Amino acid sequence: MRICSLASGSSGNCLVAGTKGTKVLVDGGLSGKKIVDKLQEAQVDVQDIKAILVTHEHSDHIQGVGVLSRKYDLPIYANQPTWQAMEKSLGKLQEKNKCILEEEKLLEIGDLQVESFPISHDAVQPVGYSLYHKKSKATVLTDTGQINKRLEDALVNSDLMVLESNHDVEMLKTGPYPYHLKRRILGEKGHLSNEQAGDTLSKVIGGRTKKVLLAHLSKENNFPDLAHLTVKSILEMQGIKIHKDLELELTSQEQISKILAVGE
């Protein structure tokens, strides 16, 4: 299984994941054209995409979803509350491509199995996703303000994890954002800090974990080097070393991430 983040941040989120035979998008928060261009950069033909999985209805996650579905006849999977919140924004769709995703029920898409799980964000019913292929598991968890036991359980035994590391707390507190926005980001339905990401990873990284991709880094309240150093330091304090068999990579708003593969 392979994963590549095409874009990650407040200006747009989109990730491609899957196998040689089955590829899906997790969110589509860029224009349709930008998503196609970034797929080509990641050496993925948009014609090979089998479905779009939506985490929640915010515009930075759904901007290009309707366009891609219409142009390439792609099914869109989301839970019922998310459909109700986003359907008008997506435009006219074929009924067959409006697919209701039942939370915590395994969905088969080609040779992938997909499971959603609830997260904590200021959307109607946001979710993260675990993807399974043969013995491999990849988990995508961003846009959550807190980590609970259910989310730790979702991450445990993942060969590959995509986890939010949105902000440095002190940078956010002293930065230019208005108070109400700072409060939202720091709240239980906001975004994870670098420290929260490191603490979470120190609990869930196990012998199977080979790749970790830090996601949704804030341009204003974080630096890539700071996120990497903070998380790495927390892991090392818990006796977890980053090495060739445990990679720690970063996403970006502008550039596609390194293509990460597990189980091959």
pLDDT in tens, 181-232: 999 999 999 999 999 999 999 999 999 999 999 999 999 999 999 999 999 9
**pLDDT at residue 264 in the model:** 65
Percent of the chain with pLDDT strictly greater than 70: 100
Q: Do strands 49-53 and 76-78 pair parallel, antiparallel, or not at all (unpaired)?
A: parallel
pLDDT (average), residues 58-81: 98
Q: Would you place residue 54 in the very low, low, confident or very high pLDDT band (cuts 50, 70, 90)?
A: very high
CB of 251 within 8 A of CB of 221? no
Q: Would you place residue 45 in the very low, low, confident or very high pLDDT band (cuts 50, 70, 90)?
A: very high
pLDDT (average), residues 243-264: 92
Specify the amino acid at residue 5.
S
**pLDDT at residue 263 in the model:** 86
Compute how many other C-beta atoms are within 10 angstroms of the C-beta atom of residue 260.
21
pLDDT, averaged across the chain:
96
**pLDDT at residue 92 in the model:** 97
CB of 17 within 8 A of CB of 23? yes
pLDDT at residue 154 above 80? yes
pLDDT at residue 105 above 90? no
pLDDT at residue 107 above 90? yes
**Domain locations in the chain?**
2-261
pLDDT (average), residues 115-130: 97
Cα three-residue angle 60-126-47, rounded to 5 degrees? 55
**pLDDT at residue 104 in the model:** 73
pLDDT at residue 56 above 90? yes
CA dist., res. 60 & res. 14, Å (int): 9
Joined together, the tokens standing for residue 150 give 């259910």
As a 3-state breakdown, the chain gives helix, strand, coil percent values, each rounded to 5, of 30, 25, 40
Per CATH, is 2-261 categorized as 3.60.15.10? yes
pLDDT at residue 168 above 70? yes
